[in-house]
Amino acid sequence: MAHGEAARGEAMRDDAGRQQWHDCREAWARTIEGLAEINPNIVVVVSDSVGSSKLGGFQKKFPDRTINVGIAEQTLVGVGAGLANGGKIPFVSAASCFLTGRALEQVKADVAYANVNVKLIGQSSGIAYGELGPTHHSIEDFAWLRPLDNLTIITPTDPWETAEAVTWAARHEGPVYIRLSRMPVPDLDIPNRTFRPGRAELVREGSDVAILACGTLVHLAVEAADQLALEGISARVLNFSTLAPFDGEAVLAAAKLGAIVTAEEAGVRGGLGGAVAEFTAETCPVPVERVGFPGFLPTGTIDYLFETFGLSRAGIADAARKAMARRAT
């Protein structure tokens, strides 16, 4: 699907009208190549991650604008900051677990505190590395990046939103972190979509409970809403793709329903669930059930970990029932 088609907000479907699933990294790669053809200041910086970042095509087209620092994530971010100070627009791409963990000090000091025009692209986020375990899972990144001033944090939910986020980041002056998964996801079927960073996107209207989700969990939130509808429960679904700046107005509106569920492929402490819990506790106390990971995870497949910890249609629906039951008491 070309970027122009994506801009019309049309879901990708096969000849039988069935929704297709795609890797957001492919949308990222197509988009950054197209942007680089227009803007000669765009460069990419990688840490031996050309393949996993889907940047083979970019490297072939722009070999002199592809900078590989080797497996040295702290250097990776520092080089990106230097390029930004030199007038370039660096997209610094690496596995999010190492980009945000190993290079956290550089992200904090060289990028956020210095407020330089670096775009951090966290690849294979969440538990996309599956059986490689907690050392390669990236479920803490929200918790340690969200408190940083100046840093916009975006978690696209599908290829369309990925392309829009990357395009916006290239135009935006300032630090951005875009968190991408390598797991295929379906495109949201929402007509006339508009990407608005800092604003939650209404996916489904509802009046009994609000489900606030981001990234790979948004399509599961929609499925949970479908399941709840069969029980006579009307669930509002919001795509909270931007964690910073935070859309407090959307949370206030959700709180008026009396019950909130958050769902994310991340740790429940400090991520979307933490942000919503903090906000509601200070402004509009309401039951909040958080769907996510509690901490370090056992070794297992992605499917096993999702099901075990309730990151599923049934798990989100159950959290909605719990939140509504707490409201009733």
Half-sphere exposure (CA, 13 Å, Cβ side) for 61? 17
Domains of the chain plus CATH, in order, are 3-186 (3.40.50.970), 201-328 (3.40.50.920)
Of residues 130 and 92, more confidence is placed in 92
pLDDT, position 5: 29
Give yes or no for residue 13 having a pLDDT over 50: no
pLDDT band of residue 51 (cuts 50, 70, 90) is confident
- Cβ within 8 Å of residue 295, ≥6 positions away: 267, 269
- What share of the chain in percent tops pLDDT 70? 94
Rounded distance between C-alpha atoms, residue 96 and residue 103, angstroms: 10
pLDDT in tens, 74-101: 999 999 999 999 999 999 999 999 999 9
Using a 10 angstrom Cβ sphere, with 0-12 exposed, 13-18 middle and 19 or more buried, the burial of residue 260 is: buried
pLDDT in tens, 132-188: 999 999 999 999 999 999 999 999 999 999 999 999 999 999 999 999 998 899 989
pTM over 0.75: yes
For residues 318-323, average pLDDT: 98
Mean pLDDT of the chain: 92
For residues 285-311, average pLDDT: 96
Nearest CA to 43 among 74, 76, 6?
Answer: 76
pLDDT, position 328: 61
Give yes or no for residue 219 having a pLDDT over 80: yes
Q: Which tokens is 123 given?
A: 């690849």
Q: Which tokens is 256 given?
A: 């008026």
